[in-house]
């Protein structure tokens, strides 16, 4: 069964450093998403992406964050200058279309900012 994959599974970085989290969505899916879950808290929406542009973003997704689909398979989340509060599990998800379609999540990347 097709699945969303994410790399790395765990990333440790120092405050102020740039990180890139990578995702390979399900191949025939058109919509891509990033969510995050701070330890012990709810899963929070960050951004959705369609047709090579951002379609929705939350207030969390400020200028420090950016997304890109550099080729036909990868979808990346970049955090330019990490802060301690960026430590969280970051989930990538994809769906076939918008509306009445399931969003399938990857296993997550645990980001630890020290």
Partner 1 sequence: SQQGEEDPQALSIQEGENATMNCSYKTSINNLQWYRQNSGRGLVHLILIRSNEREKHSGRLRVTLDTSKKSSSLLITASQAADTASYFCATEKFGAGNMLTFGGGTRLMVKP
Which residues form the interface with partner 1 (CB under 8 A)?
31, 33, 35, 42-45, 48, 55-56, 58, 89, 91, 93, 95, 98-108, 110
Q: Which is nearer to partner 1, 10 or 17 (CB)?
A: 10
> What is the Cα–Cα distance from 37 to 66, expressed in whole angstroms?
18
Minimum Å gap between C-beta 2 and partner 1 is 12
Q: How many helices (H) and strands (E) does the chain have?
A: 0, 11
Nearer to partner 1, 10 or 83 (CB): 10
CB of 73 to partner 1, least distance (A): 19
CA distance 41 to 68: 26
The residue among 71 and 102 lying less far from partner 1, judged by its C-beta, is 102
Neighbours of 76 (CB within 10 A): 15
Alpha carbon 75 to its chain centroid, in Å, reads 8
């Amino acid at each position: 069964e097709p699945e969303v994959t994410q790399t790395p599974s765990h990333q440790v970085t120092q405050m102020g450093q740039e990180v890139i989290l990578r995702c390979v969505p399900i191949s025939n899916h058109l919509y891509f998403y990033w969510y995050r879950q701070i330890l012990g808290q709810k899963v929070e929406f960050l951004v959705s992406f369609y047709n090579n542009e951002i379609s929705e973003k939350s207030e969390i997704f400020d200028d420090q964050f950016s997304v890109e689909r550099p080729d036909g398979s990868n979808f990346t989340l970049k955090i330019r200058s990490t802060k301690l509060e960026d430590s969280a599990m970051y989930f990538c998800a994809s769906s076939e279309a918008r509306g009445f379609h399931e969003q399938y999540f990857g296993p997550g990347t645990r980001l630890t900012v020290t």
